Every structure is written in structure tokens, then in C-alpha cells.
């Protein structure tokens, strides 16, 4: 039974005696099904087809799968809500019908976050503090680098998660993820360094008995010796790669009409983006090590002695080719490296060493595959040829491969490099994009996702400095155009519609205290109301009817009655509304309550200001005041026209998309204090960032036109 043999060897390899000898242990588990996404992909296979760097694929897959199984078991043991603890929020022993599945998913998210913080705190308390006294400073940095920072990040993240739990708290669960996503990029360095940290633990504990004994005591204090330090260090990587899965589960239990549904979709996309960023940093860290090894293996540098290979881009392919320069017609055996920017030609020496011969900037060359037929040559094993031709001069190289398939792979690698130097998308824009290494995490100007990796993560325009993914270049717009300003906080939430009962809207409750300061103001004069698009100043009933009868149903205005108040409790104000193809006029009344004047249309509801009254009936039916008038105030009579200076792609259901140059009718500036206005394009209404548009002099129904 091969499994039993491997299982026994696994136990022996992890015994204290073998560990002290410096032998790296391994684990073996029976195959099992995992509900994990392929985000945990095999990064080691990123080297592609290069024989010099290749690892047998089956060995890599089995080793990676086995390690993942072990790490998953450790994570579940330390972070699962099934572990014994006193929950900080109520957790049911079983999901009853009264306890929604969605609530349970949120509980799982918050409680596993709390458990994860405990794991980080354990690393700080039980390992870093006691071991810092006997380990070298460099060893502490390598083994525990980033743990303190991760602890501080997740304490803050957990605090925001908890604030979003109470209904009506004003916080959204999705905002916690969106607000902390950039901080989570710290995991890129942590995960890239994880294998090095684990190897360093193995190395120093195997050669120093005192450190080994101290480490054993720390592990005993942390979890009764159940898990080794190197095992616990894998938990942060497991946690950060769980968030998009937890959000996926939460979305599946959330109704599409939920106010945070779109926000949760954005949060999930953001966490997938973070996970991909981390994996690319890890992959590039491995790539950089490979490139450092290649650089160290090449001697006789001439002309580029001080140049690092990383400045040439990523390694796309390497291997043997025969090359004939058309200058001297002599065929030479060369070992070739294809990077994003250059082709490096070397002579193979002994012991995996190379002698530098030539460096060709690929931007100066093009590929010509004249014929796929075999070339007559005395060495019949190298007869598949293609040309690398210099664009500006009549010089070229003929490159010979062993087989047609190998030749095709070389041609593809060079074509990929040429496309990386000058992407096809550049033909759709006047930007001058160049492949660029960004020193800090950078967002793509088009898709707002991170450029990923450590080197040459994306493209930067040399003229206007914007950054973009390769696939986003075609949508980058005109160069030199102003960049859109940063988006303000989310717009006001759309009022939730009350359910209909027998075809009628239920009468809503009376307003409660705690409304915003703007809505609490009582206007002592009429000029202060002029900033609102629904206020038209003094206007008689007949004129208001004439103006509104040509407007859409739902158009309204607030006017000052020329005759003033004629009865007790009346004000000088009247509300005029186009509804059912007729114009309705409603007097506004005033009543003193608690020593303060309150406005009302009927005694079903009172308001501290006219602004509060209008705002309420923009979202609530007037049927509570007038039988049969089951309509809302929809369109203010005065409408300002604006032109969009930038494109705006909505991320919430109540937002209005903008295209540069389009005309927008501004309906309301109710979200002005947050940076949003409400507008209409054709028959679509929604909020948009006010800094994305400019008002034009032509307006619909201006105040001065109504005098």
C-alpha cells in the first residue's frame, strides 16, 4: 500500500530528531474534494516551457495540493466558528427558520475575523516577544515581518465590520472591505516571504539547540504544541484568500434589491483583485529570484555591465537556438533569453554558466516567417528557420530551431514581447504608453483595479502620467484631457418604497427627530429658498397652471401666493403639481408645536421646514393628505442644464451614468454637501458627482424668466 508507506515516511520526516538534523518534513493526505477557487493556483508553473527552469508538473501539483490541504486544516482549526469560544455576538447552535442564513454568513465573517485577530495576537504574544531576545534582528524581521502591521490592520477592519452590524447604523458591510482593500496589499510582501520565513525557522532551530528548545516552549504555550510556528505563519495567507469566498456566500444569501447588494458585489470584486495582486507579487518575487540567478550565471558582460536584467522586463522564454548573422554568414550555437524588451544571446559554458555575446532591443526588430518548409542544411536537426529583421537597416538574423513546434513557440514569445512593447490598443489612443515599473500600488485609470506584480505591472503615459493595464489602453481616452476628480462619498440612499396594501400606499409614520441640519432650518425670508430648483418666488394660481400644464406629470413648484395668507394657520406658500394631466394646487399651513412653527399639508404629518416637507413628498405619496392623489413630487419646475466633462460609470443602482459631452438636466442639488447632484438624461434619473459636470448659461425655466 503506497499510501501507508508514504504516510509512515511523512511521520518520520516530521519527527523532532529529523527536524533537528535540518531535514525538511513533508505531509501526505488522502485525496479529498475542496470547494476552493483556482485563486490558489500553482505559481511555480509560471516559468512556462523553459527547460532550464522547469519543474515536473505532476510533482509541483501534488506538492502544492498537499501543502494546501495542510494549511486549510490549520486555518479551520484556528479560525473556524466551530472552535470553542464565547461569541461576541449571538451565534445559534443551529440555523433556525427565524435566523436568516444571511445573518449566519455575516456572523461567520465577523467571528472568524475575531478568531483570526486572536491568531495574530498569539504570534505577537507567544512567539515574537519571547523569541526576540534570542534571535538575531535579521532573523526576527525575516520570520515575523509584517505580523505587527497585519494585527493593527485587522483590529481596525474588525472594528468597522462590527459598526456595520446594527440595522440603521449608517455603515455598510461592503464599505469595510472597500475602505481597507489598499491596506490589505501588505499581504503581497508577507505571502511572497512566507516560504523564506518557514525555511529560516527550520534552519536556525536545527542548528541551535537553545533556539529549538525555546521555540518548542513557545509552541506549547500558544496551542499546547498542536501546531508549529511555521504552520501558524500560513494562516494569514489563508485568511486573505478567504474574503472573496465569504463575500460570494453572503451575496448568494442577499436579495438583489438589498441596499448593500451592489456594494457587496464591488467588495467581492475588490477582494478578488486583492487576491490576484498578492499572487502576482508572489509570482514576481519568484521571477526576480530566477532573474538574479540568471544574471549571476552570465559572465563577460560587455557594454551593459551595470544593467540589471529586471530592467529588461519579465523572462518570456529561454533555450537553445542556432543563429546566423547576415553580416558574416556564420552559424553559431547560442543560448537565448527572451525578455519583454530585449533578446539576450549567450554562449553556453560548463556548470550552467554563460558568456554574454549580444543584446538586441526588440523594439528595433520585426519577425519574418518566410516559409514553414524545411530548409536544406547539412545538419538536418536544425532546419526550421525564421528571420529577425532590423527595421531601420537591411540587416537580419536567421534563427534555426529543431522542430516546427519549437520554432512556433519562439516566434510567439518574440511576438508577445513586441506586443508588450507596443500594445495593439495604443493604436486606438493618442497617449504615449510605455511599459513601466510602479514603485507603489497603483490603480488603472480605466477599470480602477490594481496594476499587479513587482516589475512592469502596467503602462504609464509619458505625456500625462496616467496608468493602465494593457487590456485597458484602448479605452484610455484622449491624452492631455483632464483626469476625473476623485469620487465623493456615496450619494444619498434612495428612499425605500413601502409595500402596497390593497393597491394603496400605507400612511407612513410621523417624522422623528434627528433629521439633518439643512432640513431643520426655518426660512425667515424667501430669498434663501431661491437656491432650490422647485422654488419660483411670487406667482399666482393661473400662471402656475399655465406653466405646469405643458410639463411632465410629477412636475411641481412651490410659490408665494400674491394674496398672502387669507385664513388662520395658512402660510403665504402653495404647492402646485402636475398630476393626471391636470394641475393641482395645495396650500401650505403652519402650526406652532413646542414653541416652534411646523409646516404641513394636512395634519397627518408635520415638518420643521419647507425643505423637509418637499423632501418628504419627493419620496412619499401625497395620498396621506389628499384622497385619490397617489403621486409623488418628481420633477422640480426649474431645471438647470449641465454638460458632462468626464465619463462616469455608476457603481450603485441610484447613480446616473455620464458620457463626456452629454447634456444633463439637474433636477436637485439635495446631495450637494456630499458632492452629488440628482439629474436626468432622457428618461433615466439618478445621482452623479457634481464635479464631473459644468453648468451652462442656458437653463430651463430660470427664475428671471418667471418674473
pLDDT tens column, 228-267: 999 999 999 999 999 999 999 999 999 888 888 888 999 9
Cell numbers that stand for 329 in this block:
554568414
Mean pLDDT, residues 511-531: 47
pLDDT tens string 145-172 = 999 999 999 999 999 999 888 877 778 8
- Environment class of 23 (CB within 10 Å of its CB; exposed 0-12, middle 13-18, buried 19+): middle
For residue 447, the model assigns a pLDDT of: 86
**CATH number for the domain harbouring residue 441:** 3.30.60.20
Q: Which of 385, 402, 421 is the last residue of a domain?
A: 421
SS3 of 547, please?
Answer: helix
For residue 641, the model assigns a pLDDT of: 87
Mean pLDDT, residues 23-43: 40
600: in domain: yes
493: in domain: no
Q: Could you tell me if 69 and 191 lie in one domain?
A: yes
- Output the DSSP codes for 425-451: GGGG----EEEE--SS--B-TTT--B-
Q: Could you tell me if 173 and 309 lie in one domain?
A: no
> Regarding beta strands 354-361 and 365-368, do their DSSP bridges make them parallel or antiparallel, or are they unpaired?
unpaired
For 396-548, where are the alpha helices, taking DSSP H only? 404-421, 517-520, 541-548
Q: Could you tell me if 314 and 388 lie in one domain?
A: yes
**CATH number for the domain harbouring residue 374:** 2.30.29.30
For residue 548, the model assigns a pLDDT of: 92
For residue 13, the model assigns a pLDDT of: 67
Q: Could you tell me if 628 and 643 lie in one domain?
A: no
SS3 of 366, please?
Answer: strand
Q: Which of 377, 396, 421 is the last residue of a domain?
A: 421
Interatomic CA distance for residues 312 and 438, integer angstroms:
15
What's the distance, CA 190 to chain centroid?
Answer: 19
**CATH number for the domain harbouring residue 48:** 1.20.900.10
211 Cβ contact partners less than 8 Å away, ≥ 6 residues apart: 131, 134, 135, 204, 205
Q: The cell 518534513 sits on which residue? A: 25
11: in domain: no
92: in domain: no
90: in domain: no
Q: The cell 536544425 sits on which residue? A: 382
Q: Could you tell me if 263 and 339 lie in one domain?
A: no
Q: Could you tell me if 161 and 260 lie in one domain?
A: yes
Q: Could you tell me if 522 and 610 lie in one domain?
A: yes
- Environment class of 210 (CB within 10 Å of its CB; exposed 0-12, middle 13-18, buried 19+): exposed
Residue 646 sits in which domain range?
Answer: 639-706
37: in domain: no
Q: Which of 574, 602, 636 is the last residue of a domain?
A: 636
In angstroms, the first-to-last Cα distance of the chain is: 97
Interatomic CA distance for residues 205 and 198, integer angstroms:
11
**CATH number for the domain harbouring residue 608:** 3.30.505.10
| φ, ψ for residue 182, nearest 5 deg | -70, -35
For residue 670, the model assigns a pLDDT of: 64
Q: How many domains does the chain have?
A: 5
Q: Could you tell me if 259 and 154 lie in one domain?
A: yes
For residue 259, the model assigns a pLDDT of: 82
Q: Could you tell me if 306 and 388 lie in one domain?
A: yes
Q: Could you tell me if 167 and 284 lie in one domain?
A: yes
526: in domain: yes
4: in domain: no
Q: Is the pLDDT of residue 521 over 70?
A: no
Q: Could you tell me if 78 and 157 lie in one domain?
A: yes
Interatomic CA distance for residues 477 and 429, integer angstroms:
6
| Phi-psi region at 387: left, alpha or beta (left = phi > 0; alpha = psi -120 to 50) | beta
Tell me the CB-side half-sphere exposure of residue 243, using CA atoms within 13 A. Answer: 32
Looking at residue 100, the DSSP 8-state letter turns out to be -
Mean pLDDT, residues 311-334: 91
Q: Could you tell me if 128 and 160 lie in one domain?
A: yes
Amino acid at each position: 500500500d503506497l499510501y501507508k508507506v508514504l504516510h509512515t515516511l511523512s511521520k518520520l520526516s516530521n519527527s523532532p530528531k529529523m527536524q533537528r538534523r535540518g531535514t525538511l518534513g513533508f505531509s501526505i493526505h488522502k485525496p479529498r474534494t475542496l470547494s476552493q477557487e483556482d485563486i490558489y493556483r500553482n505559481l511555480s508553473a509560471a516559468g512556462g516551457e523553459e527547460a532550464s527552469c522547469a519543474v515536473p508538473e505532476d510533482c509541483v501539483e501534488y506538492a502544492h495540493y498537499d501543502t494546501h490541504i495542510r494549511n486549510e486544516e490549520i486555518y479551520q482549526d484556528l479560525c473556524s466558528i466551530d472552535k470553542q469560544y464565547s461569541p461576541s455576538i449571538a451565534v445559534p447552535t443551529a440555523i433556525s427558520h427565524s435566523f436568516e442564513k444571511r445573518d449566519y454568513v455575516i456572523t461567520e465573517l465577523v467571528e472568524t475575523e475575531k478568531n483570526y485577530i486572536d491568531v495574530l495576537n498569539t504570534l505577537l504574544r507567544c512567539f515574537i516577544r519571547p523569541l526576540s531576545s534570542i534571535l538575531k534582528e535579521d532573523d526576527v524581521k525575516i520570520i515575523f515581518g509584517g505580523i505587527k502591521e497585519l494585527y493593527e490592520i485587522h483590529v481596525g477592519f474588525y472594528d468597522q465590520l462590527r459598526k456595520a452590524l446594527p440595522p440603521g447604523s449608517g455603515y455598510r458591510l461592503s464599505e469595510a472591505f472597500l475602505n481597507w482593500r489598499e491596506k490589505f496589499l501588505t499581504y503581497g510582501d508577507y505571502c511572497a516571504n512566507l516560504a523564506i520565513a518557514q525555511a529560516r525557522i527550520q534552519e536556525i532551530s536545527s542548528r541551535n539547540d537553545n533556539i529549538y528548545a525555546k521555540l518548542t516552549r513557545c509552541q506549547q504555550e500558544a496551542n499546547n504544541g498542536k501546531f508549529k510556528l511555521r504552520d501558524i505563519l500560513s494562516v494569514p495567507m489563508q485568511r486573505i484568500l478567504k474574503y472573496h469566498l465569504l463575500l460570494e456566500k453572503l451575496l448568494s444569501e442577499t436579495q438583489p434589491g438589498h441596499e448593500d447588494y451592489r456594494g457587496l458585489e464591488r467588495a467581492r470584486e475588490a477582494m478578488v483583485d486583492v487576491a490576484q495582486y498578492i499572487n502576482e507579487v508572489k509570482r514576481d518575487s519568484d521571477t526576480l529570484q530566477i532573474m538574479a540567478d540568471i544574471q549571476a550565471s552570465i559572465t563577460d558582460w560587455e557594454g551593459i555591465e551595470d544593467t540589471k536584467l529586471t530592467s529588461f522586463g519579465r523572462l518570456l522564454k529561454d533555450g537553445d537556438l542556432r543563429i546566423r548573422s547576415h553580416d558574416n554568414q556564420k552559424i553559431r550555437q547560442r543560448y537565448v533569453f527572451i525578455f519583454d524588451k530585449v533578446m539576450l544571446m549567450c554562449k553556453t559554458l560548463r556548470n550552467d554558466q554563460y558568456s554574454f555575446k549580444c543584446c538586441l532591443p526588440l523594439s528595433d526588430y520585426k519577425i519574418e516567417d518566410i516559409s514553414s518548409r524545411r530548409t536544406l542544411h547539412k545538419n538536418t536537426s536544425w532546419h526550421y528557420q525564421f528571420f529577425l529583421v532590423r527595421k531601420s537597416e537591411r540587416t537580419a538574423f536567421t534563427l534555426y530551431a529543431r522542430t516546427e513546434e519549437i520554432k512556433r513557440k519562439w516566434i510567439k514569445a518574440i511576438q508577445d514581447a513586441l506586443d508588450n512593447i507596443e500594445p495593439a490598443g495604443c493604436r486606438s489612443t493618442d497617449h504615449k504608453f510605455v511599459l513601466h515599473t510602479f514603485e507603489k500600488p497603483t490603480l488603472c485609470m480605466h477599470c480602477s483595479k490594481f496594476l499587479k506584480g513587482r516589475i512592469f505591472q502596467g503602462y504609464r503615459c509619458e505625456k500625462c502620467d496616467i496608468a493602465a493595464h494593457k487590456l485597458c489602453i484602448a479605452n484610455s481616452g484622449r491624452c492631455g484631457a483632464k483626469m476625473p476628480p476623485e469620487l465623493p462619498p456615496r450619494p444619498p440612499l434612495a428612499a425605500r418604497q413601502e409595500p402596497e396594501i390593497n393597491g394603496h400606499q400605507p400612511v407612513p409614520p410621523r417624522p422623528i427627530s434627528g433629521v439633518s441640519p439643512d432640513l431643520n432650518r426655518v426660512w425667515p425670508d424667501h430669498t434663501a429658498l431661491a437656491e432650490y430648483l422647485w422654488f419660483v418666488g411670487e406667482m399666482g394660481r393661473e400662471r402656475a397652471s399655465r406653466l405646469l400644464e405643458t410639463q411632465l406629470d410629477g412636475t411641481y413648484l412651490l410659490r408665494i401666493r400674491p394674496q398672502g395668507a387669507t385664513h388662520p394657520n395658512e402660510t403665504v406658500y402653495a404647492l402646485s403639481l402636475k398630476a393626471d394631466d391636470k394641475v393641482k394646487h395645495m396650500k401650505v399651513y403652519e402650526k406652532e408645536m413646542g414653541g416652534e412653527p411646523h409646516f404641513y399639508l394636512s395634519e397627518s404629518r408635520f415638518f420643521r421646514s419647507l425643505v423637509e416637507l418637499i423632501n418628504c413628498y419627493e419620496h412619499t405619496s401625497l395620498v396621506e393628505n389628499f384622497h385619490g392623489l397617489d403621486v409623488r413630487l418628481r420633477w422640480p419646475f426649474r431645471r438647470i442644464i449641465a454638460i458632462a466633462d468626464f465619463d462616469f460609470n455608476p457603481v450603485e443602482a441610484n447613480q446616473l451614468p455620464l458620457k463626456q459631452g452629454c447634456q444633463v438636466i439637474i433636477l436637485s442639488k439635495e446631495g450637494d454637501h456630499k458632492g452629488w447632484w440628482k439629474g436626468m438624461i432622457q428618461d433615466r434619473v439618478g445621482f452623479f458627482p457634481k464635479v464631473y459636470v459644468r453648468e451652462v448659461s442656458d437653463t430651463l425655466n430660470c427664475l428671471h424668466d418667471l418674473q
